[in-house]
Structure 1
């Protein structure tokens, strides 16, 4: 993509829905942080999504105990 193409697209951004503008801003800030070597800090929404994705992924103490017990039987 050329600089002119980037400018043209960015000129149209204000006509986009607010949610998409926010999404573009977040992505642009992430890219900028990567380029500058800055540390990345997840947003509250990202942390919530991570937590939701991890639900049920960890075994309970009971499940771990049962698994080890089954290993001993074999």
Structure 2
């Protein structure tokens, strides 16, 4: 995407409903926060995340239940 393309997109966003503009701003702010973070996935970790996402999309993966997540957080002292 060129700078011109980005500018055209931002101009279109200005005409979106306020709620959608707020959503877009949140996404951009989160990207900015992530760029400022000192935490980075290794290439191997990023590949593993992509594999898990693919497995879930294709119906091969599973997602933890609320109960399983509650037990995990409890075991971490949270």
Give the TM-score normalised by the residue count of structure 1.
Answer: 0.50
Bigger Cα Rg: 1
Which structure has more helix as a fraction of its residues?
Answer: 1
